[in-house]
Structure 1
Amino acid sequence: MHHQARFVSEVSDALIGSYQEPEPIKRPGQLLATDVKVTGQPLDPTHIGRIIKPRELVDVIELTPLNRSETILYNQLLAHAWNNIRTNPVHKVLKASLRGSHESNDRLHEAFDKLMGAWVKVRARDPQTGAMATFRVHLLGTNKEEEKDDGYFYYTFPPDLLAVISQSKAWATIKSHIMYALRSKYSIRLYEMIERRIGLVKQHEEFTIDEFRGLLGVPNSKLERFADFNKYCLKPAMEEVNHLSDFTVSIAAIKNGRAVQKLLVHWFRKSAEELRKAHDEREKSRIGRSERWRGAATIHVIGAE
């Protein structure tokens, strides 16, 4: 009964779409990302929750690459603060609620340090001039961690980042139970990227290889050959997103001669039956997934040599 009720809730969310219903006092075009509330229990991997992540943080370019755990931790901190992010300068959260199944805070200590030093590039409209600009900002501001294991973590967001977030009019509604199910940082970034776009009229977008690498958070020194990028990043991320999320992604490589120049990305909502299959897959053990999914993701090639 629990699994069935959870599935019905997930299907309802997926079929309704990424955007929550606007507040009645504002028209959709006037709605800001900060007007939309985080719901459920997004810090708990065993429960359903919805995290609001503004476009500027979804399409961020990491100057300091994060791993999967650090990416999830930042989403948790953002979600915990979100409903009061415009009014509370300092947020606090129990460390125990961030460590998942781990009994120790050791990983948290390292992740807090990494987030504190993480630089990103954010493209957004300058609140002062109204012109588009690229901001180079820290992801996390000043913070304080109580030393006891069951203590609190107090944290802030940098003023420049808050200024960008406060004016955002586009966002992804991240289903936390899907985020936790994804085992790769690249899968999470691809999921967020499509979740941000799934509510748009268009169903495809073209990217250069460098643009797409940046959006997935691939470090400059890694997977430099397209063959490696395809094998170790694109295909595994597509497999996870297509089997575990509530939409399907397809990617075509556009070639000019022998070189891949661009990627054409399409996305589609799943039917109720496809959503059920995704739900069932999330409920299964991770053991054996590679065998069940073998060869499921294919990058099509457009253009002749």
Structure 2
Amino acid sequence: MKAAHQLKLAGKGELAMAVELIDVHTPKNQELSLIARRCLLMMLEAAAGDAWKPEPHRIAKKDLRGSHKAMDRVRPAFEELMGVWFSHADTLGQAKSTRMFHLLEGINDQDDETSSAFVEFSFTARARQMLERSEVYARLSREAIIKFQSRYSLRLYEIGAAIYCKRDPTWAGEVGELRKLLHVTPDTYPNFSDFRKRVLEPARLEIAQLAEFDFSWEEILSGRQVRRIRMTFTAKPGHAALAAAEENDRHSAGRRPRRDGDVEQIIEAVAAKLLVSGPTKASSSSSGELRWPKDDDLNDYEEAYRPLYTAGRQHGGGHSIERLAQSFAQHMGEKRHQLVGDRLMSSWQGFVTGKARTWVPVR
């Protein structure tokens, strides 16, 4: 809850999701649709650090429906979310037991469809207790959440976001366990070859294009059948993390051709404008946006560079900020001075996270 509160205050489009929310149950273990999962994450972002409080929370309808003008796609998702539940080991009397409880207590949807219309929702008492006590969370990008086109990609993105920064960034289990985790019903893609083709491979491609980490898996056979899966999530190096952040800023039209390599060259709107009219005032160093220091000296006593310094401390594995900064400068070359704002931060954070994994751990 503290992390959720801090991320909301930062206002950079990131949210904290308690890892307990990865393993949710649905009625008869049906698949939770992409729009339902997306709505759930948007609602968590809206509640943020207040999700544990016994009070209703509000979210604007326009945030839930995206580019659509009506709620016809969202209301069925509400019905799905009202059925989401959890189970965990407990005790009843002197015996062990299994406690089950729902996530949401209620959703109150205004009939109004104007830009100011909102939805009010509240969590159950048990769910609030779970959120309050949760100490491990996944840090998710709002832009990535709304860009994924497959519910399986979004599920694996959630799982990967909770794992890729750990010392052991892997998940291993039976194929049946993975199917259950991804809400793939037994009668959907029963053959593993279809499961691989329709679930794992599309998810790997989308995650590679939109996330700050990569995803791969190993198939463990028993005879001729795949019995177990070992998935590995690895942080991307700086340039790859930057490419993912840039893709999140682009329109979804053309994303598949870009992913498949059918587009020869991409010219960003700002770059195209500069080619035609030359530098603008907004491109100058006086714009106030986050920029890389000209002398590559990151420190915490200059306000302009403090966010970069803090990110290096948080994600650099204890390594010297000076060493990380010099390595970043060598890796990025002149492009480090062309990046601004969130793109620079995404590139820097992805780079230092990768170095924390590859360099000798600080003792």
SS of equivalent residue, structure 2 residue 15: strand
1:149 aligns with 2:140: no
Is the contact made by 1:186 and 1:233 (CA closer than 8 Å) also made in structure 2? yes
Q: In structure 2, how many angstroms separate the alpha carbons of the residues matched to 1:248 and 1:289?
A: 17
Q: In structure 2, how many angstroms separate the alpha carbons of the residues matched to 1:197 and 1:167?
A: 19
Is the contact made by 1:119 and 1:138 (CA closer than 8 Å) also made in structure 2? yes
Structure with the bigger RCO (C-alpha within 8 Å, sep 6+) is 1
1:35 aligns with 2:2: yes
- 1:239 to partner: Cα distance: 0.9
- 1:146 to partner: Cα distance: 2.1
Mean Cα displacement is larger for which, 154-163 or 137-146?
Answer: 137-146
- Alpha carbons of structure 1 residues 219 and 139: separation in structure 2 relative to 1, 3 Å: farther
Q: Which protein is richer in helix relative to its size? A: 2
Structure 1 residue aligned with 2:74: 108
Structure 2 residue aligned with 1:57: 21
- Alpha carbons of structure 1 residues 211 and 61: separation in structure 2 relative to 1, 3 Å: farther
- Alpha carbons of structure 1 residues 233 and 41: separation in structure 2 relative to 1, 3 Å: farther
Q: How does 1:7-156 map to 2 (within 5 A)?
A: 34-38=1-5, 39-40=7-8, 48-62=12-26, 63-116=29-82, 118-123=83-88, 126=90, 135-150=99-114, 151-156=117-122
Is the contact made by 2:19 and 2:136 (CA closer than 8 Å) also made in structure 1? yes
- 1:261 to partner: Cα distance: 0.7
1:182 to 135, 143, 148: 148
Structure 1 residue aligned with 2:229: 263
Structure with the greater alpha carbon radius of gyration:
2
- Structure 2 letter corresponding to 1:86: W
Structure 2 residue aligned with 1:301: none
Q: What TM-score results when the alignment is normalised by the length of structure 1?
A: 0.75
Is the contact made by 1:59 and 1:193 (CA closer than 8 Å) also made in structure 2? no
SS of equivalent residue, structure 1 residue 218: coil
- Alpha carbons of structure 1 residues 97 and 292: separation in structure 2 relative to 1, 3 Å: closer
1:243 aligns with 2:209: yes
Is the contact made by 2:51 and 2:131 (CA closer than 8 Å) also made in structure 1? no
SS of equivalent residue, structure 1 residue 37: helix
Q: In structure 2, how many angstroms separate the alpha carbons of the residues matched to 1:132 and 1:245?
A: 41
- Alpha carbons of structure 1 residues 231 and 120: separation in structure 2 relative to 1, 3 Å: farther
- 1:209 to partner: Cα distance: 0.4
- Alpha carbons of structure 1 residues 59 and 119: separation in structure 2 relative to 1, 3 Å: closer
Is the contact made by 1:127 and 1:164 (CA closer than 8 Å) also made in structure 2? no
- Structure 2 letter corresponding to 1:120: W
Q: In structure 1, how many angstroms separate the alpha carbons of the residues matched to 2:92 and 2:103?
A: 21
Unaligned stretches of 5+ in structure 2? 262-363
- Structure 1 letter corresponding to 2:21: L
1:192 to 143, 158, 162: 158
Q: In structure 1, how many angstroms separate the alpha carbons of the residues matched to 2:121 and 2:80?
A: 14
1:210 aligns with 2:210: no
Is the contact made by 1:76 and 1:98 (CA closer than 8 Å) also made in structure 2? yes
- 1:143 to partner: Cα distance: 2.6
Determine what percentage of the aligned residue pairs are the same residue. Answer: 25
- Structure 2 letter corresponding to 1:95: K
RMSD over aligned Cα, in angstroms?
Answer: 2.7
Q: In structure 1, how many angstroms separate the alpha carbons of the residues matched to 2:105 and 2:87?
A: 16
1:219 to 157, 165, 185: 185
Is the contact made by 1:58 and 1:196 (CA closer than 8 Å) also made in structure 2? no
Q: In structure 1, how many angstroms separate the alpha carbons of the residues matched to 2:253 and 2:108?
A: 38
- Alpha carbons of structure 1 residues 54 and 218: separation in structure 2 relative to 1, 3 Å: same
